[in-house]
Structure 1
Amino acid sequence: MSNALAAQPRRMLADFQPIVYQGVMAAIVRVLAADSTSNATRQSWQKLIDSGPRTGGFRALLSARDQFDYDCILHALLHRELTPAHWDVLVGKFSTHKANRVSAIARTIPRISSPAPALFIYKATTVWFIPKMKGKQGKRSTDVAVLPDEFYDVNTWDTEARPDSTRSRWRRGIHKCLEALEEGAVIHVTEILEREQLIERID
């Protein structure tokens, strides 16, 4: 994303006819994907846009490049208007940029309030962001954040071997905290999309 695109997102949004996103989650995924699209891969990204479903309206009037640029501008707007906690939980959960995702998770861990020890909070938070995937690890892309299988073993989260009931209570509390952060972030994104008239409405 160029500095020029990120400089004045609100002003530049007004320069475009609004693109209509299919929904809030679709907008979040597109915006965070734009952050990981380099100049070298932009051509393939444009092909994906061109081959995707179109529902008419403003989306059909924009070129692939305009759609990509619009996603970049919206990325800058959300980054500026969301709180750091809300931005990080979305990047950690939905970004396709591995380094950005790992950094966002690292910033989120200290925000979690729990009586659990630090190691438990670290591992419980990380596996919430990066759930265990099916399939052999060797067949996965190197661009995807993957944890070793033993990371998901709760017995490694607590060196003092506390009762399962205690560890389950800690894990539920940590995951509820993260789910609340994600819900708050999605609500805030929804408010921004509605304000900018970017979300598709079904009457």
Structure 2
Amino acid sequence: MIYQNVVSAVVRALASEVINSAGGCDFQPKVQAARVPGAICGKEEALLTDCWVFSRLHAMLMPEHWDALVSKYSTHVQRKHDATMAMAARVRSPAPKRFIECATATWAFPQLPGVDGKRSTSVLPAAWYDINRWDEDGRPDSTLYRWRSAIRRSLEDQVNQALVVAQEVLDAEGLIRCAA
């Protein structure tokens, strides 16, 4: 399996840990006669590749890069939460710790359209997205928004750095489609 780009590879790999095979009937044959006899193909091959990429990236990336990718792209709520809090601990900002943690959490779990973000199961309660609740000292909104913007920019920079490293790992394995 060859991925279109590094983001699609990372998203599929991180999603592979929450996919289960409990539902539905599978009418496609597991083995195709045209391929090597006994070879895994189709959905099973793709899932196996995704799991292998997950393992490879987890082993090859530094913890801060891995946390950045999990915080941004994972659908596993507990892993995403743990990685998000690890990222919050690394953020450098004049903002108080609580503000940094709230800004990081709302970056990792963005508010989605719909009533209270109910289109997704991975949203925080509505009160979490109120920036005025993040600061207990009553600082001006301009300061709060400046801090939040700087924190989010820092987090996105970490994700971009992690994607560059992941790209190098996947290129070395020949898993990214090259443009002609």
TM-score exceeds 0.5: yes
State the SS of the aligned residue for 2:18.
coil
For 1:54, the equivalent position in structure 2 comes to none
Higher helix share: 1
Return the TM-score normalized by structure 2: 0.85
Aligned residue type for 1:195? A
Alignment partner of 1:164 out of 141, 163, 167? 141
Counterpart residue number, 2:17: 35
Deviation at 1:26, TM superposition (A): 0.8
Over 3 Å counting, the alpha-carbon distance change for 1:188 and 1:154 in structure 2 is: same
**Match of 1:31, SS?**
helix
Q: Please, which runs of 5 or more residues in structure 2 have no aligned partner? A: 28-39
**Residue in 2 that maps onto 1:200:** 177
Task: Find the aligned partners of 2:81 and 2:75 in 1 and give their Cα distance.
Answer: 11
- Counterpart of 2:66, as a letter, is W
Q: 2: CA distance between counterparts of 1:92 and 1:27?
A: 15
Q: Give the conservation status (yes or no) of the 8 Å contact 2:104–2:151.
A: yes
Instruction: Report the alpha carbon displacement of residue 31 of structure 1 after superposing the two structures with TM.
Output: 0.3
Select between 73-82 and 144-153 the one with higher mean Cα deviation: 144-153
- CA RMSD across the alignment: 2.0
| Among 77, 85, 97, the residue aligned to 2:56 | 77
Q: Which amino acid aligns with 2:19?
A: T
Per-residue deviation, 1:74 = 1.1
Task: State how far apart, in whole Å, the 2-side matches of 1:40 and 1:98 are.
Answer: 20
Shift of 1:40: 2.5
Farther-moved stretch of structure 1 (150-159 vs 163-172):
163-172
- For these two proteins, the number of residue pairs brought into alignment is 168
Structure 1 unaligned spans of 5+? 1-18, 48-60
Residues in 2 aligned to 1:62 and 1:190: alpha-carbon distance in whole angstroms: 25
Kindly provide the amino acid, as one letter, of the partner of residue 190 in structure 1.
Answer: Q
Residue 152 in structure 1 maps to residue 147 in structure 2: no
Structure-2 separation of matches of 1:163 and 1:68: 49
In structure 2, give the amino acid aligned to 1:90.
Answer: L
Match for 2:44: what amino acid?
A: R
Assess if the C-alpha contact under 8 Å between 2:67 and 2:84 holds in 1. Answer: yes
Q: Deviations over 1:95-149 (max 9, x none)?
A: 11112111211221101111100111011111111111111248445xx221111
Q: Distance in 1 between matches of 2:154 and 2:91?
A: 7
| Structure-2 residue corresponding to 1:132 | 111
130-139 or 171-180, which moves further after superposition? 130-139
State the 1:154 CA deviation: 1.0
Match of 1:185 in 2: 162
